[in-house]
Amino acid sequence: MKTSIKFFFCFLFSATAALAQNVTVNIVSYNTHNCIGMDKKLDYQRIADVINKTSPDIVSLQELDSVTKRNDKFVLQELEERTQMHAFYASAIHFQGGSYGIGILSKEQPLQCRIIPMPGREEKRTMIIAEYKDYVFCATHQSLTPQDQLASVPLIKKALKGIKKPILMAGDMNSRPTSQSQQKLRKIFTPLNETSACTFPANHPDECIDYIYGYKKNDYVFNVQKREVIEEPVASDHRPIQVIVRIAPK
């Protein structure tokens, strides 16, 4: 079993070492709906099964309770144990005696992580920036409010300034591909998933609000080998997305 969930921070985060050779990364993003499915059943194992079947290198997870009245378990720890991956959790809000937030699961233990607050008037939002040997990965769950989504873009841009490694970002962005916030994000990121493929709601998806991106401002090429909306209509209210990407210096 992997060690327990890490709560480590480094505010002198730089990730200055550039990628020397090509690297392939298998990425999944999944809004787990707290592991409560469309059938109203709480089931950690079926979320873990979805993750395990994709054999990802790294996973961005949203809607995770930590010891609340609604869910007396630490959801990310339950998934960590069932996937045998390394986990990092970021609380977004205090909730029902515990917390509610986002997380990362990864095969490789991160070198360092930091948490960036994001705007959210209906509830506070957050982003994790985690450095690994060959890349930097950002996980987030953005606000429902378009104004907050737009306000997040310069904050993301500022947080990534000076990073020399390839940067990937994934999460539930709560915005459609044609939205203003997505158009702003496309100035600094390339969407790697197929944005015409719908991800929500899981039983009858009719909109894309979940994304995986490659950062295009620090001289890397993202060659997508596979992109898929995983056909899982019950385990959560979102369908997970998977991208396998080969990253190379320009």
- CATH number of the CATH domain containing 179: 3.60.10.10
> Is 232 inside a domain boundary?
yes
* CA dist., res. 159 & res. 137, Å (int): 12
> Is 6 inside a domain boundary?
no
50: domain range?
A: 23-249
pLDDT for position 93: 66
Q: How confident is the model at residue 173 (pLDDT cuts 50, 70, 90)?
A: very high
* CA dist., res. 160 & res. 40, Å (int): 38
> Is 4 inside a domain boundary?
no
Query: Are 170 and 201 within 8 A, CB to CB?
Result: no
Q: For the segment 121-172, what is each residue's pLDDT rounded down to a tens digit?
A: 999 999 999 999 999 999 999 999 999 999 999 999 999 999 999 999 999 9
> Is 5 inside a domain boundary?
no
pLDDT for position 9: 45
**pLDDT above 60 for 8:** no
> Is 179 inside a domain boundary?
yes
> Is 126 inside a domain boundary?
yes
Query: Are 128 and 140 within 8 A, CB to CB?
Result: yes
Q: For the segment 224-242, what is each residue's pLDDT rounded down to a tens digit?
A: 999 999 999 999 999 999 9
Domain total for the chain?
A: 1
* CA dist., res. 185 & res. 247, Å (int): 20
* CA dist., res. 134 & res. 191, Å (int): 20
pLDDT for position 12: 43
> Is 7 inside a domain boundary?
no
**Residue closest to 169 by CA, chosen among 120, 125, 135:** 135
> Is 172 inside a domain boundary?
yes
Q: Average pLDDT of the chain?
A: 91
Q: For the segment 45-84, what is each residue's pLDDT rounded down to a tens digit?
A: 999 999 999 999 999 999 998 766 677 778 999 999 999 9
HSE (CB half, 13 Å, CA atoms) of 192? 30
The pTM (predicted TM-score) of the whole model is: 0.93
**pLDDT above 60 for 5:** no
